[in-house]
Structure 1
Amino acid sequence: MNAAKENYFGKLEQVHEFYDAMPTGVSLSETGRIFINFPEWGDQVTATVVERVDGKLIPYPSQEANTFDPQNPENGFLSVQSIVADGAGTLWVLDTAAPKFTVPVKGGAKLVAVDLSTNQIRKVYTFSSDVVLDSTYLNDVRIDLRRGSEGVAYITDSSITGPGALIVLDLGTGDAFRILDGAPSTAVDPAFIPKVEGEILLNRSADGTTSPWQVAADGLAISPDGKTLFFSPLSSRHLYSIETDKIFNKEIDDHALEAHVKDWGEKGASDGMITAEDGTIYAGDYENNSIRVIHTDGTMETLAHDPRILWPDTLSIGPDQYLYFNANQLQRQASFHKGEDLREKPYSLFRIFIGKGPAKAN
């Protein structure tokens, strides 16, 4: 018998198949180089940051850089959650220093600038204990090179045990501070119940006990002019934004900053987001195997809906005007299924043509 089926659409192209560790981040440079990262979540990770060269994954910028030194935690990557090429010659590497979401190794959480012309680490930024808390999990990063003497970095704290927040880092001075610390816009939505592949997503232990899986501020996007920062908790379907001038207005203390946050409404539950050169925001929708589009007027539509989009993680726009993203089956990890790992290799790096380049950071 014939029966109606769900409508899938969007022309996905598979760029790479991953048969080893599970990827999260992907970023394309202005020359089309592809970088990928693998956090230490339990898989065997030989290099937490790699470059895809001729179809192979090469430790980047070197295997030495991917070797953590416990005696000098600022040296070597430990567990990288996000990478961003800024379009101006630098790859920014965000090291959580928190394998399996543990307490960050003291002095190990860092943002590292790698010069893409020399493939050498140019600068390492570490954080004080009042910025990276014991509960902090550094998740995503966006760069604006137009503000301050050398630019600023915006970072999400997607804590699963403490307050969510945004972290602002002055790339000239190295000073950093937290904003919207524990505010509703960076926190878990208490009414949010994630449903993925027809099931409620819960921590499910082998002994049968369950608990909510709740993740605070996660995805980030920045407008092409750098004047608006968009963000979203992973455990929420809402998109929020704030004018960046308000962040640096010393007359507005952090407790008052939430009043300046705009709620754009529901966009779907997202892990990653990215902005195109015309201000359009692209976001994953991990509950619906989809990629969403948020136009500058606030209207939203679906770019792609495909059963292969199994947890779209980080998004990146290349100079070829394709949107790239990893589908990493995060929801099939053993911790959600009583200790049984349901992930099916390969994980995939996909792309879909959008006809737009990325927003510039400078």
Structure 2
Amino acid sequence: MNSKRVKSTVTAAVLTAFFSVNAFAQSALGSKVELIGEIKGTQITGVTVSNDGRVFVNAPNWRDGVGFSVAQITNTGEFVAYPNSKTNECVAQSKVRKDCFLAVQSVVAHNDKLYVLDTRNPKFQGVVDAPRLFVVDLASNEIEGILLLSEDAYHTDSYINDLRVDEKTNRIYMTDSAHAGLVIYNLDDNTSYRILDNHETTKAEVELLSIQGKPFSMTVQSDGIALDTLNETLYFHALSGYSLYAINTSDIKKASNEEVAKKVRKVATTGAPDGMIYHEGNVYLADLEKQEVQYLTPSLDLRTLVKGDVVSWADTFSIYNNALYYTNSKIQDAGSNVSDMTFEVYKTALPAR
């Protein structure tokens, strides 16, 4: 891997990583939670684990001094710019380059590729050019392609948030957390479009959340997304809201809100989530207000997997080797300066079947 170690200080636009090998904590439920890595001074949101167990994270471009957009956590706990330092230069230098990560919000490893979702909306100041997916070959650690969204797939205030890859339909599904809606990218012909644009099923339901009693007033639209490939179902959820919705992937097509909305169903009432993922019948999702990681069973029972001090805004989920990985992005506590804050990646065993 042609990368350099990320170290030093925020003022040098690189950060110091701290790691505890085999560090375990007990959640309030007594479940064992393992610390995979922690980093001081860089707020991380996304996490994903590849088929061979490599752990990747991303840091969004929300403030000055961000040292990397995407990093791999090594076995010794270092956060190493990925796939190389040059591709991560734009976030620190506030440069807009076609071949460089600018404002990454999510990373998803799927088969032998890493999909890097670049909002192209640094510091929420507006989209500067087409939001895109960088596709990295995990074998060669090289960018093999860049998937650009078409102009009718995003708005000038869009913040494309998370994604799921559907092999059956050869499409990628994404959420837009700033301008409500779902974005579809068709890998067959490299076209893209929106559905449920500014629709009640993708819009925020409330203006204010209470994170363990602390008011959070930023309104966030469609955010969480999960894909059940077996039953060909896409789940989605506004962060500022309590309704979990679903649509069959066969019903996803370029059509009016009215036509698509007829195919949408409300699945359950849940807490307000950020992280969300589907696995073997369960929909895993955060409850930000309670600071918990929960899961919705096939019988629609909402159960708690992890809670306590090890959960502080569970932002993004990934599953590998019967364990759920999640980040603590601590958005409720993060202001303009996070140089003294520490952000963690944890994993915990999935519930017994």
Aligned-partner SS, 2:225: strand
Aligned-partner SS, 1:302: strand
Question: Is the 2:59–2:70 contact (alpha carbons within 8 Å) kept by the matching residues of 1?
Answer: yes
Residue of 260, 268, 271 corresponding to 2:274: 271
Q: Which residue of structure 2 lines up, in the alignment, with residue 16 of structure 1?
A: 37
Is 1:153 paired with 2:155? no
Aligned mates of 2:293, 2:163 — CA distance in 1: 20
Given residue 305 of structure 1, which amino acid in structure 2 is its aligned partner? K
Question: Is the 1:311–1:328 contact (alpha carbons within 8 Å) kept by the matching residues of 2?
Answer: yes
Relative to structure 1, the CA distance from residue 342 to residue 176 in structure 2 (aligned partners, 3 Å threshold; closer, same or farther) is closer
Question: Is the 1:83–1:92 contact (alpha carbons within 8 Å) kept by the matching residues of 2?
Answer: yes
Given residue 205 of structure 2, which amino acid in structure 1 is its aligned partner? D
Relative to structure 1, the CA distance from residue 167 to residue 356 in structure 2 (aligned partners, 3 Å threshold; closer, same or farther) is farther
Report Cα offsets for 1:215-251 as digits up to 9, x if no partner.
Answer: 1000100003261000001110211111111113x6x
Aligned-partner SS, 1:142: strand
- Which structure features the higher share of strand residues? 2
Post-superposition offset of 1:169: 0.1
Aligned mates of 1:303, 1:43 — CA distance in 2: 35
Residue of 334, 338, 344 corresponding to 1:348: 344
Q: C-alpha root-mean-square deviation of aligned residues, in Å?
A: 2.2
Residue of 204, 217, 220 corresponding to 2:222: 217
Q: Which residue of structure 2 lines up, in the alignment, with residue 304 of structure 1?
A: 306
Question: Is the 1:228–1:242 contact (alpha carbons within 8 Å) kept by the matching residues of 2?
Answer: yes
Given residue 87 of structure 2, which amino acid in structure 1 is its aligned partner? A
Aligned residue runs from structure 1 range 44-193, under 5 A:
44-54=65-75, 55-68=77-90, 73-86=97-110, 88-107=111-130, 109-147=131-169, 151-159=170-178, 163-190=179-206, 193=208
Aligned-partner SS, 2:89: coil
Given residue 324 of structure 2, which amino acid in structure 1 is its aligned partner? L
Q: Which moved more, 1:29-38 or 1:124-133?
A: 124-133
Post-superposition offset of 1:140: 0.3
Q: Percent identity?
A: 30
The normalised TM-score by structure 1 is: 0.84
Aligned-partner SS, 2:262: helix
Q: Which residue of structure 2 lines up, in the alignment, with residue 210 of structure 1?
A: none
Q: Which residue of structure 2 lines up, in the alignment, with residue 328 of structure 1?
A: 329
Number of residue pairs the alignment of both structures matches: 324
Query: Which stretches in structure 1 are left out of the alignment for 5+ residues?
Result: 1-5, 203-212, 336-340, 358-362
Aligned mates of 2:55, 2:100 — CA distance in 1: 21
Relative to structure 1, the CA distance from residue 342 to residue 57 in structure 2 (aligned partners, 3 Å threshold; closer, same or farther) is closer
Given residue 58 of structure 1, which amino acid in structure 2 is its aligned partner? V
Q: Which residue of structure 1 lines up, in the alignment, with residue 23 of structure 2?
A: none
Query: Which stretches in structure 2 are left out of the alignment for 5+ residues?
Result: 1-26
Aligned-partner SS, 2:346: strand
Aligned mates of 1:104, 1:12 — CA distance in 2: 38
Post-superposition offset of 1:200: 2.1
Report Cα offsets for 1:126-147 as digits up to 9, x if no partner.
Answer: 1222212101001000001221
Question: Is the 1:74–1:124 contact (alpha carbons within 8 Å) kept by the matching residues of 2?
Answer: no
Question: Is the 1:321–1:356 contact (alpha carbons within 8 Å) kept by the matching residues of 2?
Answer: no
Residue of 239, 242, 251 corresponding to 2:247: 242
Report Cα offsets for 1:170-214 as digits up to 9, x if no partner.
Answer: 112110000000111100104x53101312212xxxxxxxxxx21
